[in-house]
Structure formats: C-alpha cells, structure tokens
C-alpha cells in the first residue's frame, strides 16, 4: 500500500485567454506556491512522503515540481500522460477558453472532437497506478479527470483544485482510491 499525489501547478504568468501561448511559466506568486507545496510534501509522515517526482511536459508544472525535486535530490521525470487536456484540432487557439468553459459543464462522453477524451481520462488513471510513492505535478482538468473517475462520476469537473493544491490517492493491491481532494479555491483557469 502506498500514497501518491497529484499537485496542480502554481499560478502561471499568463492564461489561455491572454493569448500569449500554451506554455507559460510561473509568476512570482506561483513560484512561492511551489515552494510552499514542497514544504507541505516534505512535512508528510515518512511512510506517506513521495520519493519520486513526475511532471507534465508543460513548463508551469516543471517549475512547480522543481523545489520538491531539489529537496529530495532527484530529477523530475516527464510523463505526457499528465499533461493539459488537449483541444480538438477544429478549435482555434483563440477559442480554447470558450471550448473549456463549455466542456466544464458536461460529461466525458459528451466531449466531441478528434480526441478520445474517455481514453485520455483513463490513461491518467492508469498512469497513477504506475506511480506509487510519487508526487505528480499536473493540471486542473487532469486532476479532475482522475478524481471524477475514482468517484465513479462522468462529470468533467469533480471539484475546483486551487493552485498547488495536493490531492492524495492510495494504491492498495493494484486498486487506486481517492484519499483526499486538494484545497479548493476560486481560481482563474481560463
């Protein structure tokens, strides 16, 4: 039996609606949040403390993971299964925010496009099963995908994880269970 964690990235220096690009880094607040998340993870009892660090390929997650990885003396491993939810190719970048707002109101099987969203969601859950003892730095929708799946809900959004919130899971005999959702916050996702 082990614990693993999904940590939402810290506050980025821009959002999708700013139209500055898909891969922003963290702003000063986000960097401070990343340090605080590292401190919180390090304060866990030893039997529950992660021993490895995984990140989405995106910069904001890697920057959030860096303080904890440094404290552990390990490298950040990149795993694309934990990346941001992909946008259908028919949706222009300028319309991503509107597409996400609409997606947030529905279910996984209602999402349409050239991407198999239920399969994307399941890949996240299966990826978690491969990561016992790991801190995984990821994204708002990816964390929701895992949480809603484990709650046996088809809703796209299960909760509103704040920046650097830490959601915990337990892996027991190959069965993944949600332990605790991370702190919720009013946050600007778009």
For residue 151, tell me if it sits in a domain: yes
- The residues near 44 (Cβ < 8 Å, ≥ 6 apart) are 3, 50
pLDDT at 178: 97
pLDDT at 116: 93
What does each of the 190 residues of the chain score in pLDDT, given as a tens digit?
A: 589 999 999 999 876 555 556 688 899 999 999 999 999 999 999 999 999 999 999 999 999 999 999 999 999 999 999 999 999 999 988 888 888 888 999 999 888 888 999 999 999 999 999 999 999 999 999 999 999 999 999 999 999 999 999 999 999 998 999 999 999 987 555 5
For residue 97, tell me if it sits in a domain: yes
For residue 48, tell me if it sits in a domain: yes
DSSP string, 122-171: HHHHHHHHT-TTEEEEE-HHHHHHHHHHHTT--BS-S--BPTT-EEEEEE
Domain count, the chain: 1
Angstrom distances, CA of residue 82 to CA of 47, 94, 135, 186: 24, 23, 12, 22
- What 8-state DSSP symbol labels residue 181? P
- What 8-state DSSP symbol labels residue 179? E
For residue 185, tell me if it sits in a domain: no
- Give the CATH number for residue 37: 3.40.50.1240
Neighbours of 178 (CB within 10 A): 16
Domain that holds residue 33: 2-180
* pTM recorded for the entire structure: 0.93
For residue 62, tell me if it sits in a domain: yes
For residue 8, tell me if it sits in a domain: yes
For residue 156, tell me if it sits in a domain: yes
Pairwise CA distance, residues 133 & 135, whole Å: 7
DSSP string, 34-96: HHHHHHHHHTS-TTTS--EEEE-SSHHHHHHHHHHHHHHT-PEEE-GGGSPPPPPTTS-GGGH
For residue 100, tell me if it sits in a domain: yes
């Amino acid at each position: 039996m082990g614990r693993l964690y999904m940590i939402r990235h810290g506050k980025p220096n821009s959002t999708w609606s700013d139209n500055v690009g898909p891969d922003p880094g963290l702003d000063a607040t986000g960097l401070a949040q990343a340090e605080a998340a590292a401190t919180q993870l390090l304060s866990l009892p030893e039997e529950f403390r992660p021993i490895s660090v995984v990140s989405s390929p995106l910069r904001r997650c890697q920057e959030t993971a860096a303080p904890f990885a440094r404290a552990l003396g390990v490298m950040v491993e990149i795993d694309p299964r934990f990346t941001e939810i992909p946008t259908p190719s028919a949706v222009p970048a300028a319309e991503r925010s509107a597409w996400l707002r609409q997606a947030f109101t529905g279910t996984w099987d209602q999402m349409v496009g050239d991407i198999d969203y239920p399969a994307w969601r399941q890949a996240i859950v299966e990826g978690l099963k491969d990561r016992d003892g790991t801190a995984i730095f990821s994204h708002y929708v990816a964390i929701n995908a895992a949480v809603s799946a484990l709650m046996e809900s088809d809703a796209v959004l299960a909760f509103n994880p704040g920046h650097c919130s830490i959601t915990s899971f337990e892996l027991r005999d190959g069965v993944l269970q949600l332990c605790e959702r991370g702190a919720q916050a009013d946050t600007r996702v778009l």
